[in-house]
Amino acid sequence: MLALLAAGFLLPPAAAATETSVVCPVDPLPVTSAQTDALFALAAGRLYAASDISGLKPPGVKFPFGATARQTQYMRSDVYGWTAGFYPAELWLMYERTADPAWLALARTWTRSLLPVAKWTGSHDLGFMIGLPAGLGMRLDPDPAQRITYRRAIIDAAKSLSSRWNNKVKAIKSGEYDGKWGLIIDSAMNAPMLIEAGDMIGGTEGALLRTRGQQHLLTLAKYFVRSDGSTFHRLTFNPRTGALTGPVYGQGYNMATSTWARGQAWAMYGFAKGYAVTGNPALLAAANRTNAFWNQQVDPGCVPAWDLAVSSAFAPRDSSAAAIAAAAMLLLADLDPGGSSDNRQLALTTLGTLTSSEWTSVNTQSPGLLIKQTWNVPILKYEGSYVWGDAYLLESALKVSETTKR
């Protein structure tokens, strides 16, 4: 029993209903330009070191994935790993920050290695794998021919993703869970790529991609967002009738009642991005509801445990959830400046915490940037540094620093 409590798997009886395991600074303050400068200086060293694959065994490029707190080298995935796109995205963000052709060359090389995956129909995560790095490349690469290549990859990836569509469920299949047709809230981050690709193509084919991407998000908003704005992680459906068959265990503490912290952040960002590319007010409403729940549970500048219902001083934290939430709030601040909360200020305060020495790897031997992230606590309880948290932390820090300069 004590071991389970220490790992963050049990809820203390008295506190479970009203408290969350958050770590808060004594005096939460907005991020400063000195902090963002220090973060990018740290990133320059860490990302360049990770680009050296001379000592890795063939075949193929191995993409940084993450490292637990005790590891000094990245665990890596092959090109088909769902996280393969994050490291190339970080390289593009470094190029955007510096305009240094060395970062451009690295970003091109690592992105190019991913592009064949665009025609793979075996994953619902092509928005992360292709849409994120290729989208940055299409925006940032100064070579028109390269931009055309990235554009083609995004269109191919959207078509591959669309092949997983189920017209009864009105959604793109995430996977099989407990032997059942399932969706996960993470897919909110992948669906906007279909809408963007549909706009690129135009015509009947483009309209189909756009419709499927938007409908997928509306299906998530309908079934995954609870009345209080919290979210499920995994739900299953009858693929022949479209009927909901219920939640199944995923990354949260309780499949039916708790809220996986990173899943909540995925929902916030995915719905906000969906609104950005469609203008559909239902998606803005979903983004605002999930955002409001986050802010009810996580005070400004605080970092939550891996699940927002877990209340234990020993529970693993997930700083990646806070980084993604900050990115979502910055996007919402742009899209809905008259919203009910001051999302920009909340994001700045979160970033003030995440870029401090307590939460970055500056005093560690970690190969990543943002420490005290979690991957999949039910499987691996240890905190570490992972590429998804790093990518969204850099994205937010870059956006904040660019805004400050204006």
Predicted TM-score (pTM) above 0.95: no
Beta bridge partners of 166: 171
Q: Tokens standing for 126?
A: 């092509």
CA dihedral 189, 195, 197, 198 (to 10 degrees): 160
Q: Return d(Cα 91, Cα 72) in angstroms, integer.
A: 20
Q: Write out pLDDT tens, residues 233-251.
A: 999 999 999 999 999 998 8
Q: Write out pLDDT tens, residues 314-370.
A: 899 999 999 999 999 999 999 988 776 799 999 999 999 999 999 999 999 999 999
pLDDT of residue 312: 82
pLDDT of residue 9: 32
Q: Return d(Cα 231, Cα 269) in angstroms, integer.
A: 13
Question: How many CB atoms are closer than 10 A to CB 352?
Answer: 21
Phi-psi region of 203 (alpha: psi -120 to 50; beta: other; left: phi over 0): left
CA dihedral 266, 269, 275, 278 (to 10 degrees): -70
Cβ within 8 Å of residue 71, ≥6 positions away: 366, 367, 384
> What is each CA distance from 108 to 130, 136, 236, in whole angstroms?
13, 11, 38
SS3 label, residue 141: coil
CA-closest candidate to residue 130, choices 149, 157, 103, 165: 157
**Where are the extended beta strands (E) located within 97-161?**
none
Q: Return d(Cα 114, Cα 134) in angstroms, integer.
A: 9
pLDDT of residue 266: 98
Question: How many CB atoms are closer than 10 A to CB 373?
Answer: 32
What are the structural domain ranges in the chain? 20-144+258-405
β-strand pairing of 303-304 with 384-386: unpaired
Below-70 pLDDT ranges, the chain? 1-20, 54-61, 340, 403-406
Q: Return d(Cα 204, Cα 200) in angstroms, integer.
A: 12
User: Is 20-144+258-405 assigned to CATH 1.20.1560.10?
Assistant: no
Cβ proximity of 212 and 172 under 8 Å: yes
SS3 label, residue 226: coil
Question: How many CB atoms are closer than 10 A to CB 271?
Answer: 33
Q: Tokens standing for 31?
A: 């991020």
pLDDT of residue 81: 96
Q: What are the backbone dihedrals phi and psi of residue 24, each rounded to the nearest 5 degrees, phi first?
A: -125, 140
> What is each CA distance from 277 to 113, 173, 405, in whole angstroms?
28, 21, 26
Beta bridge partners of 184: 234
CA-closest candidate to residue 316, choices 384, 391, 387, 388: 384
Element (H, E) at 38: helix 33-50
Q: Return d(Cα 309, Cα 82) in angstroms, integer.
A: 27
pLDDT of residue 53: 72
Cα angle for residues 127, 129, 133 (degrees, 5° grid):
90
SS3 label, residue 325: helix
SS3 label, residue 316: coil
Cβ proximity of 42 and 50 under 8 Å: no
CA-closest candidate to residue 318, choices 240, 366, 381, 258: 381
Q: Return d(Cα 383, Cα 162) in angstroms, integer.
A: 35
